[in-house]
Chains A and B, each alone.
Chain A
Amino acid sequence: GAVVSQHPSWVICKSGTSVKIECRSLDFQATTMFWYRQFPKQSLMLMATSNEGSKATYEQGVEKDKFLINHASLTLSTLTVTSAHPEDSSFYICSASPSFNQETQYFGPGTRLLVL
């Protein structure tokens, strides 16, 4: 089956630093990838939709200058949390929709970010 990976699986950083999270579709090409954020004991909230070769579409309330998204290839999207603060600590999960079958999507394993 289709596999989506994320790297790193967890990261601890100091307040004020930037953190890059990678989302890769390992065995398929994905025109569209989605980034979700999940705070403890809460639901998944869509942050942005990442389209290969174009600018990401951000949801209301998500700062595009703070959460930089780059989808430079059909198998890789990156989310950079710039100047991270403790309130950015969360579980970040991506999902990818295959270019050959946009009737489905596959989730990555998630990245747990802890900002000290």
Chain B
Amino acid sequence: GENVEQHPSTLSVQEGDSAVIKCTYSDSASNYFPWYKQELGKRPQLIIDIRSNVGEKKDQRIAVTLNKTAKHFSLHITETQPEDSAVYFCAASLLAGNMLTFGGGTRLMVKP
């Protein structure tokens, strides 16, 4: 089955700096790669996703890149703000409505 590795497990940045989180996956059949933000005790919130026919996608301060050949994808957050502090999870699946395999998570701390 699919295996998703995520790095780093914790990331501390100064407000205004950029943050990058990286994930690798094992199953070349995976086509859908979402990123979720989870605050303590809450449900995961989809912040951005990318499909295998696209190499990069951007939404304001958030961008995701995908290298399907190398089987890795990354989340980039620019101009970080304290409210960006949370746990971020990458995931992979065959389709957006299929079961998700999650990475281990990254705890992002943005220092004011």
Contacts and interface: CB of A to CB of B under 8 A. Distances in A.
Interface string B31-66: 000000000011110000000000000000000000
Given A108-B43, A109-B42, A109-B43, A46 B101 contact: yes
Given A34-B100, A95-B100, A104-B97, 5 more contacts: A42-B104, A42-B105, A43-B103, A103-B95, A109-B42
A43 B97 contact: no
A116 interface: no
Interface size class of A (residues with CB under 8 A): 20 to 34
Interface of B: 41-44, 89, 95-105
Interface in A83-114: 91, 93, 95, 97-98, 101-105, 107-110, 112
Nearest to A34: B99
Contacts of B100: 34, 44, 46, 95, 105
Contact of B97 (A44, A46, A91, A97): A97
